[in-house]
Chains A and B, each alone.
Chain A
C-alpha cells in the first residue's frame, strides 16, 4: 500500500476512527493490527521475515536480561545479530555475490544458482531498529520488553516500518503503548505535516523524476550539460521523495498521538560534507554512530592504532587518523547498505575519503584562510562552504543514480569534459518530458521549500507562527495546500505516482 495511494488515505482514516473510539486500553492493539494489515498488503509471505526478526530479537532480549555472565550475553547478542543481518544480507546481496563468484567458478565448471528473491518492505529499517534494541539491552540501557505483542508493535509500527525513521526503543515503545486522547492540535499538526510531505513528493519529486529517468537511462545520447541538469533534478527528487515520505510518516504518527524523531535538518544548508550527513537521514547516521562508529573507535585495535599514530605524527593528525579510519568504515558500510552494486561502494568510498581527508587537512586549511585574511565565521565563507558542499553532494549523486559504476564514471566524464553549454535550450528542456508549466511548478515549489528551510534555519517556527493566526486562516491555508495538491499533483494526465525510493533499501 503506497503512502500516496487513496487506499492509504482510507486506511489511515479508518484506523484513526477505531483508534479513538475504542476504549483507550485497546489502542495499542489497534495499532498492532493496523501495522500487520498494512504490512501484509505488501505480501503475506514477506510478513514471515518481519515476524522472524521480531521473534528472534524478542526472545534474545529476554535471555540477555536473565543471563549473568558477560561472555554468554555476548554470544547471544552476536548470534542473533548475525542471524538477522545475515538474513538481510542474504536477501539483499546473494544474487550479486553469486553472479560475481560464477565468473570465477565458470572456469572450474561450477555455477551457483541465483534466486528471484523479493526484498521484504523496509527490511533494513526494521532490522536496524531491532538490532539497536538488542545492543542497548546488552549495554544495560533499559530492561527487555516482556510482552511479545507490544514488542511486535515496536518493530512493525505502520507508518514508519517501510522507510523509517529508525527509532529507539526507549523513545518509541512507551508512546506506542500509552493511551492517547484525540487532540485537535495534534490532528491539525499531523495533517499539516502530511500535506507538506505530499507537496514535496507529488508536486516536485514525481515531476523531477521524469527528467531524471529520461536523461540518465539513456545518458549516452545527451551532452554533459543536460546530464548535469538531470543529476540536479535527481538531487531535488531524492530529497523531496525521502524527506517528503518521512513527513507523511511523521504526520500520520502525530495524528495518532505519537512523535517520531526528525530525519532531516535542511541538508542543503550544510557547510561541509560531514555536516551534510548530520542533516540527512539523521536516524541512520545516529544509528551508525552509536552502534558502529563508537564501538569501532573505542575497540582495542583502534586504541592500539591510535597509540602508534600519535607517536608517529605529532599534534592533531596523530590523534584523528584512527577516528578517520573508523568514519571511513562507516561510510563504506552505508554505501553497501544502499545496495549490492559497485556504484554504492564507490559512493561510500567517495564520501568517506572526502570527510576523512577534510578532517586531516582542517588545521592547515584554517591557517591558510588566516593568511588570506578570510574570516572562517564570516558570511562570505559560509556561502562558499554551502555551495561547495552542495557541489560535492551533487557529484556523489552521479554514483547513486547511474545504472552502474561504469555509467556513473562516464556521466561524470561527459559532464566535465564535454559539457556543451550551448546544447541547453528551451526546446532541449521541453524534450525531456516536462512542459513549461511543469518546470515553473518545480521551480516555484523548490523556492517554497528553500524559503521555509531558510526561515527554519534562522530559528523561526513556521507552524507556531501559523498558530497565532485565527482558525479561519489556518484552515484556509490547509485547504489551499490541498487544492494545490489536487490540481498540480500526480492526478494529472500522464503522471503515475512513483514508489518511494528509500522503501527499496
Chain B
C-alpha cells in the first residue's frame, strides 16, 4: 500500500521526498488543489470514499497518516 501511495504522491510533485516529510500540510507542501487530486486518486485506487470531514491536516501530514486513513476507511470507519 505504501508504494502505491508514494507513487500517487510522486505524480503530484516529483521534487519532494514524501517518505521523509512529516508536515506535508502544515509546511504547505501539499496545497488544497493537490489534496483534491490526491483524494481523487486515493478514492479510485483503494475504492474508498474520503469526504470533506476527513480533510484534516492530521490525516495528510505524513505518508503513514494517509495510510492510516485509508485503512480506517477500508475497515468501514
Which residues of A line the B interface, CB within 8 A? 139-141, 274, 278, 289-290, 293-295, 297-298, 303, 306, 319-320, 323, 326-327, 359
Contacts and interface: CB of A to CB of B under 8 A. Distances in A.
Contact of B53 (A139, A303, A306, A359): A139
A286 to B, nearest CB: 10
Contact of B32 (A139, A140, A289, A295): A289
A320 B50 contact: no
Contact of A323 (B33, B50, B55): B33
Name the prevailing secondary structure of the B interface residues.
helix
Contacts of B52: 139, 290, 294-295, 298
A57 B52 CA distance: 21
A303 B40 contact: yes
B37 interface: yes
Interface of B: 28, 31-33, 35-37, 39-40, 50-53, 55-56
13 contacts: A139-B51, A140-B53, A141-B56, A278-B28, A289-B32, A290-B52, A294-B36, A294-B55, A295-B52, A303-B40, A306-B40, A319-B37, A323-B33
Contact of B36 (A274, A278, A290, A297): A297
Given A303-B40, A306-B40, A319-B40, A294 B32 contact: yes
Nearest to B32: A289
B49 to A, nearest CB: 9
Contacts of A359: 33
Contacts of B53: 139-141
Given A294-B36, A298-B39, 10 more contacts: A139-B51, A139-B52, A140-B53, A289-B32, A290-B55, A294-B35, A320-B37, A323-B36, A323-B37, A326-B36
Contacts of A320: 33, 37
Contacts of B39: 298
B51 A327 contact: no
A289 B55 CA distance: 10
A274 B32 CA distance: 11
A303 B40 CA distance: 8
B37 A298 contact: no
A297 B32 CA distance: 10
Given A139-B52, A141-B53, A298 B32 contact: no
Contacts of B56: 141
A298 B36 contact: yes
A293 B53 CA distance: 12
Contact of B33 (A141, A290, A327): A327
A180 B8 CA distance: 47
Contacts of B37: 319-320, 323
Contacts of B35: 294
Nearest to A136: B53
Nearest to A303: B40
B24 to A, nearest CB: 16
